[in-house]
Amino acid sequence: MIQTVMVFSPHPDDAEFHAGGTMAAMAQTGSRIIPVVVTDGRCGSFHLNGDSLAGLRAEEAREAAKALGAEPPILLGYPDMSLDGLPPGTLRQDFLRLLRTYQPDIVISPDAAGPWDVHPDHRAVAIAASEAVLFAPLPLASPRHAEEGLRPHFVVEKYFWTKLDHANHIVDISESMERKLAALARHESQMRFLVEDILRQADKAGLELGELSEIARREPALAMRWALEAEAAEIGAKAGYRYGEAFRKVRFHPLVERLLSQKE
């Protein structure tokens, strides 16, 4: 049976960074991958203006989705760094409607129960995704959806990306690491921004990087490849894989899980 996977990403590149290998592996086995990009990423540059960057990052998100084998992303278009200023419940309602429309078997998102994340967009998406999967099965949560033909829906598997020491599940991405890296390379404007940010910090710290700095500026995707391979190798090693991605995986209520474990 083909599974539908919905991925909630605060910014155009977040899902690829944290779950790109998992998304690519699921797509390879025939799953339908539906990325949902919540903000337009317009603040991620030292040089471009916001409107130009927003349009560029939308196109990069589409190209990255292709590289993973995913469907074209659903772009909600909220301004970057604005989610904490939305009226309460706005994102939850957006996500709830998407869950009932597409009826995914799996949801991937940031982890609301993980370590504190300094970025308000990350926190907002994590909380809204957790709330939406909780309320989506309840017919009296947004009952007007029934009038539109939208049915309540229980998402069986939730993959919340998190830090390694908070994870209970590691996905083997040894065979899909290259597709993850290829997708991230499509986010060229963000790769350049992240590398430049690191180099600026290194300069402030008084580090002399010399030729390494020039190589990183000339080929930011290569610099990010080195960092991402090192991180994925560290995660994978915990489970005996070459490369891995870390999640807090949740299925059913703890009581149901306990009964299932006894049955097995």
- How, if at all, do strands 74-78 and 32-39 pair? parallel
Please write the tens of the pLDDT for every residue from 150-178: 999 999 999 999 999 999 999 999 999 99
Q: CA torsion angle for 31, 75, 46, 68 (degrees, to 10)?
A: 10
Would you tell me how many other CB atoms lie within 10 Å of the CB of residue 213?
Answer: 17
pTM recorded for the entire structure: 0.94
Please write the tens of the pLDDT for every residue from 174-225: 999 999 999 999 999 999 999 899 888 988 999 888 877 887 788 888 888 8
What is the residue-averaged pLDDT of the chain? Answer: 94
What pLDDT does residue 50 have? 85
Please write the tens of the pLDDT for every residue from 3-33: 999 999 999 999 999 999 999 999 999 999 9
Can you give the residue ranges of every domain in the chain?
4-253
CB 125 within 8 A of CB 217: no
Q: CA torsion angle for 128, 132, 133, 137 (degrees, to 10)?
A: 170
The separation between the first and the last C-alpha atoms of the chain, rounded to the nearest angstrom, is 23
Its sign, for the CA torsion 170, 174, 175, 178, is positive
Alpha carbon distance 80, 208 (integer Å): 33
What CATH superfamily classification does 4-253 receive?
LmbE-like (3.40.50.10320)
